[in-house]
C-alpha cells in the first residue's frame, strides 16, 4: 500500500501575507481623504444610534469590545448629533422647605430659569436688606409707633392718676421706691411715722389700716392691667410691623419677579418666601455685631453670605444659560463613586460641630446628564461600593434620590437632610470588556431588563480590497489627529502588515486603533531622527523592533537560559519519548514564544496516562482535557480488542509554573507514541497544535510567537537547514512572521511545515511511515503505529501473565 507523501514546507510567500505598496495610488496619506465613520463597526454603531434615538427608558446600552478599539470615541461621535437634535432638558433647583427644613424641595423649571430664579432671589434679598431697615427708620413708622406707645402710656397714667386721687381722699399716700410702689397713711399732708401711728387711738389705727388696705387692693388691680396694656401695645406694634413688612416685601417681590410670574411652581415658591419674609422682618434688622432692638440697615450686598439669609438661597442642580451648547448633555464620569453618581449632601464644621442645609446639596453625574446621555466605564462603576445598586435603583424608579454610603449601610441614626427626589430621564451607556457584559448578564437579573441593547465592537476587519483602501484612509486620519507625519505608500503597506500581525490573522486587519496609533507615533519619532518627510516602512520596522526590545528583558532571560543549557532544549539529534513543544507567555501586553521539553515514559499498567502537571496541581483544566483526549485517541486506535494495559507519564520538564491550554496535546501524543514504539523523534523540530480523538491536528493561538521563539533559539545555536516547526494546517492563514524568519526560510535554513493529522506529524518527526491498518486488522509492518500497537499487546500479555501467576504465600492458589 503506497504511503501518503510527506507534507511540504511552506514557501516564504505563505509566511507573511504582505501588502504591495505599488497597489496604492498615492504618494502619502496626505493625498487621501479622511475616513468617515468607523471601519468595520457598522453593527456596533447601529446599536449606539438606536440607543441614542429611541425614547424608551429601559433601552440603555452596553458597549463591549477590546480596549483600544475606539469604543469611547465612537460612542461620543454617534451620540453628538443625536444630542443636538434633542431639546434642552429642564433645569432643576433645590429650595428651602419653610414647613420642614430637613426636607428640601426640588423644583423643575424650564431651561434657563434656574439662574433667573437664583438671580431674582438675590435681588429680592439685596433690596429688602436695604428697604426694610429704611422703612422701619422712616418718620411715618416712628410716629405711628410713638402714637401706639403714647396711647398705652396715657391709659396707664390715667388709671394711676385716678388711683392717686382716691388715695389722697382717704389720707393715703402712694410712694415710688426703688423696689416699686408703696402705700402709707397721711396726716396733714405728711406720711405718719410709725411712732405717731402707735400713739393714735386703736379705732383710728384700724380705720387708717382699712383705708391703706383698700388703696393697696386698688393699686394691685391697676397693676394687673399693666401686662394687658403691654400685650395689646405689642400686638398693635406687631400689626404695624407686619403691615409695613408686607408693604415692603410685596413691593420688592413685584419688582424682582416681574418677569417670572405665571409659572405655577415659582408662584407657589414665591408665596412661601413672601409668608416667611413677612413673618421674620427682624432678619433684616441685625447689626454686624449682633441683634439690635432698633432698625439698622445692613450695608452690604449679596446678603446670602450671612447665615440668616441662607434659607432664601436657590441651589441649582441643573441649569442652562444662553451660552451653553444646544441640545441634550453628554456627560462622562471617570470616577463613578456613589456621591459622584447620584449627588451628595456636604457638611461644614462650625464651633466643633458639623452642620448642613439644602444649600450644600451637590449634583452628581445623573443630575448633570438628566435629559441626555451618561457614559460610564463599567469596570470603574462596578469597583465602587454601592454605585451599581444606586444606578439600577435610579433607572428602575425613574428618580434620583440622594443617599449617602452611611445611609446605605444603616450606620447613620441622626436626623439628616431628605431632599426631594428628582425625576430622571437619561440614557446610560456602559463601556466595558466582554467578560463584564456576560458576567452581568449571567448573575444580575436586573441587567437584561435595564440594558436591552449591546454594541459589540469587532476586533478585526476582513482583508478585502475595499477594506484595505479604507484602512489606508484610517491610517491617514490617525496621523492627522495625532499631528504626525503622513505615511508613504510603503509605510502604509508595512502598517497594514503589522495590523494583520496584531490581529493574529493574515486575512484580517486589527481594529485596535490604540495599538496602531502607538506604532505610528513612535515611527514618527524615528522619521524625525533622520529628517524624513513621511513615515516609511523602515521607520515602522524600527518602531516595532524598539518596542519589542523595551519589553523583551524576560524573553531574553528565558532564551539565554536555553542557550546556556540551564533549560534543556535540544535542536538536533533524535531522542525517544522526547519532543519540543511550544508555548506563549504574555507579560504586560508583550507576548513571546518559548520552547519546552515534553517527555513521556511508558510501562505495563492498568490503562492510566498520568498527567504529572495535573497531579502536581500545576496543570489547568484545558491542559488536563487535552491529556484526556490523548488517552481517548490511544484507547480507540491501538489494540481495541484487548484491555488497555499501559501506564504512561507525561510532563513538561523544568516547568515550575502553571500550565494550561491544549496546544501541546499533539506534541504530548507524539512523545507518547515515540515512547511506545521506541522510535526516536528528530529534535530539530518543534511542534504546536491540539489533537482530537480522531487524530486531527487543530488550530491554536499565538502561532507566530511560537514559531519565532523556536527560531530564535535555533538561530542562536546556528541554523542547520533541518530545523523547523510543525504547525496545524489551519494556522497557515494566521501567519504574519517577522522578516528574519521569512528570510531564513527563503534561504533554506529553516522550515515551517503544516500538518493535518497525527500520522503526518509522526512521519515527519521520525522519518518513517506512521502506518495504515491493513485488511487483516494489523498496522503495516515496521510502522510507528505497528510498533506501538505491538508494545501495547505485549503489555497486555505481561499483565495477563502476572495476574494468572500465583504469588508466593497464597495457599489457595488464587489470583494475586
- The conformational region for residue 112 under phi > 0 = left, psi -120 to 50 = alpha, else beta, is left
Phi and psi angles of residue 399, each rounded to the nearest 5 degrees, phi first = -140, 150
CB neighbours (10 Å) of residue 382? 16
Q: Residue 338's closest CA among 408, 423, 437?
A: 408
Burial class (CB in 10 A: 0-12, 13-18, 19+), 405: middle
How many angstroms separate the Cα of 418 from the Cα of each of 106, 349, 359, 387? Answer: 11, 20, 13, 19
Q: What whole-number distance in Å separates Cα of residue 156 and Cα of residue 336?
A: 72
The residue behind cell 479622511 is 34
Grid coordinates in use for 526?
A: 524615528
Q: Establish whether 706 is a catalytic residue.
A: yes
Residues 6+ apart with CB under 8 A from 242: 278
Chain-centroid distance, C-alpha 764: 53
Of 477, 499, 663, 783, the active-site residue reads 663
Identify the sign of the CA torsion 237, 243, 244, 249: positive
Q: How far apart are CA 753 and CA 726, in angstroms?
A: 5
d(CA 462, CA 457) in angstroms, rounded, equals: 14
Instruction: For residue 147, give the H/E element and its range.
Output: helix 139-169
Helix 113-137 × helix 264-279 angle, to 10°: 20
DSSP code of residue 351: T
In contact, 204 and 194? CB cutoff 8 Å = no
State how far the Cα of 738 lies from the Cα of 451, in Å rounded to an integer: 43
DSSP string, 225-260: HHHHHHHHHHHHHHHHHHHHHHHHHHHHHHHHTTTS
- HSE, CB side, 13 Å, CA atoms: give it for residue 799: 17
Catalytic (active site) residue 57: no
In 337-450, which ranges are E strands? 344-345, 348-350, 353-355, 361-362, 373-377, 399-400, 422-423, 427-432
SS3 content of the chain, % helix, strand, coil (to 5): 50, 20, 35
Q: What angle do CA 225, 227, 228 make, to 5 degrees?
A: 65
What are the φ and ψ backbone dihedral angles of 425, each rounded to 5 degrees? -140, 95
Does residue 12 sit in helix, strand or coil? helix
Q: Which residues pair with 423 in a beta bridge?
A: 399
Q: Hey, which residues are catalytic here?
A: 663, 706
Amino acid at each position: 500500500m503506497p504511503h501518503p507523501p510527506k507534507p511540504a514546507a511552506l514557501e516564504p510567500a505563505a509566511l507573511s501575507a504582505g501588502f504591495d505598496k505599488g497597489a496604492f495610488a498615492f504618494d502619502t496619506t496626505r493625498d487621501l481623504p479622511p475616513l468617515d465613520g468607523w471601519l468595520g463597526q457598522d453593527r456596533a454603531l447601529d446599536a449606539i444610534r438606536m440607543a441614542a434615538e429611541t425614547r424608551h427608558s429601559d433601552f440603555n446600552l452596553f458597549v463591549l469590545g477590546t480596549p483600544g478599539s475606539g469604543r469611547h470615541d465612537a460612542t461620543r461621535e454617534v451620540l453628538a448629533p443625536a444630542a443636538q437634535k434633542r431639546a434642552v432638558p429642564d433645569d432643576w433647583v433645590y429650595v428651602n422647605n419653610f414647613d420642614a427644613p430637613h426636607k428640601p424641595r426640588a423644583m423643575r423649571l424650564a431651561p434657563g430659569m434656574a439662574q433667573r430664579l437664583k438671580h431674582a432671589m438675590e435681588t429680592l434679598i439685596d433690596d429688602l436688606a436695604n428697604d426694610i431697615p429704611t422703612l422701619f427708620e422712616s418718620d411715618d413708622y416712628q410716629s405711628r409707633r410713638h402714637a401706639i406707645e403714647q396711647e398705652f402710656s396715657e391709659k396707664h397714667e390715667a388709671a394711676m392718676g385716678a388711683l392717686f386721687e382716691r388715695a389722697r381722699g382717704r389720707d393715703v399716700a402712694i410712694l415710688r421706691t426703688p423696689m416699686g410702689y408703696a402705700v402709707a397713711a397721711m396726716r396733714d399732708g405728711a406720711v405718719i411715722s410709725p411712732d405717731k401711728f402707735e400713739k393714735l387711738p386703736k379705732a383710728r389705727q384700724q380705720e387708717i389700716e382699712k383705708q391703706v388696705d383698700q388703696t393697696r387692693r386698688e393699686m394691685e388691680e391697676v397693676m394687673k392691667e399693666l401686662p394687658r396694656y403691654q400685650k395689646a401695645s405689642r400686638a398693635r406694634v406687631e400689626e404695624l410691623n407686619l403691615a409695613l413688612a408686607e408693604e415692603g416685601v410685596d413691593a420688592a417681590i413685584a419688582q424682582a419677579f416681574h418677569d417670572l410670574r405665571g409659572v405655577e411652581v415659582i408662584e407657589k415658591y414665591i408665596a412661601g418666601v413672601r409668608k416667611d419674609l413677612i413673618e421674620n422682618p427682624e432678619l433684616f434688622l441685625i447689626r454686624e455685631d449682633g441683634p439690635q432692638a432698633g432698625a439698622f440697615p445692613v450695608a452690604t450686598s449679596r446678603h446670602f453670605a450671612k447665615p440668616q439669609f441662607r434659607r432664601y438661597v436657590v441651589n441649582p442642580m441643573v441649569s442652562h444659560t444662553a451660552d451653553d451648547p444646544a441640545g441634550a448633555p453628554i456627560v462622562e464620569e471617570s470616577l463613578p463613586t456613589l456621591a459622584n453618581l447620584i449627588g451628595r449632601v456636604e457638611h461644614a464644621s462650625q464651633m466643633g460641630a458639623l452642620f448642613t442645609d439644602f444649600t450644600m446639596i451637590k449634583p452628581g453625574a445623573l443630575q448633570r446628564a438628566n435629559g441626555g446621555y451618561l457614559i460610564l466605564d463599567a469596570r470603574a462603576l462596578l469597583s465602587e461600593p454601592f454605585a451599581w445598586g444606586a444606578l439600577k435603583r435610579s433607572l428602575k424608579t425613574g428618580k434620583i434620590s440622594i443617599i449617602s454610603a452611611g445611609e446605605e449601610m444603616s450606620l447613620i441614626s441622626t436626623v439628616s437632610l431628605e431632599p426631594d427626589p428628582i425625576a430622571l430621564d437619561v440614557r446610560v451607556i456602559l463601556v466595558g470588556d466582554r467578560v463584564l457584559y456576560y458576567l452581568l448578564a449571567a448573575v444580575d437579573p436586573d441587567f437584561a431588563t435595564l440594558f436591552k441593547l449591546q454594541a459589540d465592537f469587532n476586533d478585526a476587519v476582513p482583508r478585502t480590497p475595499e477594506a484595505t483602501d479604507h484602512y489606508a484612509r484610517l491610517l491617514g486620519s490617525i496621523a492627522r489627529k495625532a499631528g504626525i507625519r503622513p505615511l508613504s505608500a510603503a509605510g502604509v503597506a508595512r502598517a497594514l502588515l503589522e495590523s494583520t500581525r496584531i490581529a493574529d490573522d493574515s486575512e484580517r486587519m486589527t481594529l485596535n486603533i490604540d495599538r496602531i496609533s502607538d506604532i505610528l507615533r513612535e515611527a514618527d519619532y524615528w522619521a524625525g531622527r533622520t529628517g524624513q518627510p513621511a513615515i516609511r516602512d523602515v521607520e515602522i520596522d524600527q518602531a516595532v523592533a524598539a518596542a519589542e526590545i523595551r519589553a523583551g528583558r524576560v524573553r531574553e532571560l528565558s532564551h539565554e537560559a536555553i542557550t546556556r543549557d540551564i533549560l534543556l532544549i535540544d535542536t538536533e539529534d533524535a531522542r525517544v519519548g522526547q519532543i519540543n513543544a511550544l508555548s506563549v507567555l504574555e507579560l504586560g501586553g508583550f507576548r513571546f514564544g518559548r520552547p519546552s521539553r515534553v517527555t513521556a515514559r511508558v510501562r505495563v499498567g492498568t490503562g492510566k496516562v498520568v498527567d504529572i502537571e495535573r497531579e502536581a496541581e500545576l496543570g489547568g483544566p484545558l491542559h488536563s482535557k487535552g491529556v484526556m483526549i490523548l488517552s481517548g485517541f490511544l484507547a480507540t486506535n491501538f489494540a481495541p480488542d484487548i484491555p488497555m494495559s499501559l501506564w504512561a507519564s507525561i510532563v513538561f520538564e523544568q516547568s515550575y509554573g502553571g500550565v494550561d491550554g491544549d496546544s501541546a496535546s499533539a506534541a504530548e501524543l507524539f512523545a507518547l507514541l515515540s515512547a511506545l514504539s521506541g522510535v526516536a523523534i528528530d529534535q530539530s523540530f518543534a511542534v504546536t497544535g491540539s489533537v482530537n480523538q480522531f487524530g486531527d491536528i487543530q488550530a491554536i493561538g499565538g502561532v507566530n510567537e511560537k514559531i519565532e521563539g523556536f527560531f530564535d533559539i535555533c538561530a542562536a545555536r546556528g541554523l542547520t537547514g533541518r530545523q523547523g516547526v510543525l504547525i496545524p494546517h489551519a494556522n497557515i492563514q494566521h501567519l504574519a512572521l517577522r522578516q528574519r524568519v521569512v528570510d531564513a526560510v527563503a534561504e533554506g535554513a529553516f522550515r515551517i511545515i503544516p500538518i493535518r493529522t497525527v500520522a503526518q506529524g509522526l512521519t515527519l518527526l521520525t522519518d518513517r511511515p506512521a502506518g495504515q491498518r491493513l485488511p487483516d486488522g494489523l498496522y503495516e509492518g515496521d510502522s510507528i503505529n505497528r510498533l506501538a500497537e505491538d508494545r501495547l499487546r505485549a503489555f497486555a500479555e505481561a499483565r495477563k501473565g502476572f495476574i494468572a501467576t500465583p504469588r508466593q504465600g497464597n495457599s489457595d492458589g488464587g489470583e494475586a
